[in-house]
Amino acid sequence: MNKIYKDATQAIEDIHDGATILLGGFGLCGIPENCITALVSKGVNNLTCISNNAGVDDFGIGLMLQKKQVKKMISSYVGENAEFERQLLSGELEVELIPQGTLATRCMAAGYGIPAIYTPAGVGTEVAHGKEVRSFDGKEYLLEMAFNADFAIVKAWKGDTMGNLIYKETARNFNPLMAMAGKITIAEVEELVEAGELDPNQIHTPGIYVNRIFEGKNYEKRIEQLTVRDS
């Protein structure tokens, strides 16, 4: 059994034009920087990207948007990205906006073999258009489908050779959920260790969900909103 890949280029080699890809991260926090760079270099096109945000103009998924590699973006929040807005308004980019909790739970559902979930988010709004509304205990819910994605690309703090992953702080966000949801899951980690070096009680994503793993390089970890206090 070998899940270890040399680098991002090798790990994403078979991602094809038209693929549907889940990408972990919240804003620029916990995004798979190495894989995004490799996807840009590879020049794969017509992608459907599912990610909470769309990056900023010159970082994260924004890099793929600049190269017009993305056909459709499925996100919950897409502000702070001028090129994104331009493509959206010009009709070059298809966009589906869905509530953040729905996005997260549709990933989890896929990873848990649950075909669809009921959520109250979006009832009575345009998000509900065309969806089944059902009442349980007097409250209304929408039926939302589990994602069905070709690839999931996630970023973890530490990983081991069996594919077990541990995330750091709020860089966890969507990563463990998307890791469970891809038909093929690719994990890039800041530190790749031997099996047995991670405490089995503290694994966030068990290796069964991870098909490929590699140690990433040169993480920039850009901060989107630097807020500090003096003392």
Interacting residues with a copy of itself (CB under 8 A): 105, 112-120, 136-137, 139, 141, 145, 166-169, 172, 200-202
- The nearer residue to a copy of itself, 117 or 128, going by C-beta atoms, is 117
Q: Which does 118 bind (CB under 5 to 8 A by kind): another protein, a copy of itself, none?
A: a copy of itself
Is residue 159 a contact point for another protein (CB under 8 A)? no
- What span, in angstroms and rounded, lies between the C-alpha atoms of 60 and 1? 32
Q: Residue 155's closest CA among 15, 46, 25, 10?
A: 25
The interface region with another protein, picked from 4-12, 13-21, 37-45, 154-162 by CB under 8 A, is 154-162
Minimal distance, residue 8 CB to another protein, in Å? 19
Whichever of 95 and 120 has its CB closer to a copy of itself, that residue is: 120
Burial of 52 (0-12, 13-18, 19+ CB in 10 A): buried
Binding residue for another protein (CB under 8 A) from 8, 108, 156, 189? 108
193-222 binders of another protein (CB under 8 A): 194-196, 200-201, 203-204, 206-209, 221-222
Q: Which is nearer to another protein, 6 or 230 (CB)?
A: 230
Q: 136 is in the binding site of which of a copy of itself, another protein, none (Cβ under 5 to 8 A by kind)?
A: a copy of itself
**150 to 20, 23, 92, 96, 116: CA distances (angstroms):** 5, 11, 23, 18, 18
Token reading at 129:
């258009």
- Nearer Cβ to a copy of itself, position 73 or 146? 146
Cα–chain-centroid distance for residue 231? 35
Contact flag: residue 150 with another protein (CB under 8 A)? no
Cα–Cα distances in Å, from 143 out to 74, 93, 118, 177? 17, 26, 5, 19
The site that binds another protein (CB under 8 A) totals a number of residues, namely 78
Cβ proximity to another protein: between 44 and 214 the closer is 214
CA 145 – CA 148 distance, rounded (Å): 9
Answer for which of 123, 131, 150, 215 binds another protein (CB under 8 A) is 123
* Residues sharing a CB contact under 8 Å with residue 128, sequence separation 6 or more, in sequence order: 122, 142
